[in-house]
Amino acid sequence: MNFTEIAENRQSCRKYDPSQQVENEKLERILESARLAPSACNGQPYHITVCRGETAKKVVKAVQGMGMNKFASDAPVLIVISEKPYVATAALGSKAKGIDYRSIDIGILAAYITAEATAQGLGTCILGWLDDAQIREACSLEGSVRLVITLGYAASDDTLRVKKRKTTDELITYMV
């Protein structure tokens, strides 16, 4: 699958097949892609916590406040992305330029994780609705939790939806 095919096929999975577990080999490929994701000054100001079993159940509860993300209960793997401190050069650049490089880096990391998962035939959904304190406690984390990514096999009836995106003319300007 080339990158354009990955982009065309990747979508937020809202229905997982709870009977299918994610193979360790596929998970390792996803995590290796995550490790290779670019970041400001190669600092990787984040930590990845892979949750399965009882810990995953605790994280699921922390992403389902007010009735949100009910589908997460069927995802066999939850990937928690939490913040770590900047390396000195990225911290200096962030302060000098007023740019939150850590948020950019975490976004790139999430894109790498979800793209590789798609290439491995798995579904993902990036969740920002979460209870930081609950997840920190469940995963013994110090840094703020920024995202949770559900990971698993999509249910057979979770078919590819039409993508609703801006047109090229609305989104892109060419300058010379």
Contacts of 157 (CB under 8 A, 6+ apart): 15
**How far, in Å, CA of 139 to CA of 55, rounded?**
7
Confidence of residue 74 (pLDDT cuts 50, 70, 90): very high
What pTM value is reported for the model? 0.96
* pLDDT single digits (tens) 82-134: 999 999 999 999 999 999 999 999 999 999 999 999 999 999 999 999 999 99
Name, in order, each residue with C-beta under 8 angstroms of 37's C-beta and a sequence gap of 6 or more. Answer: 44, 105, 108, 109, 111, 112
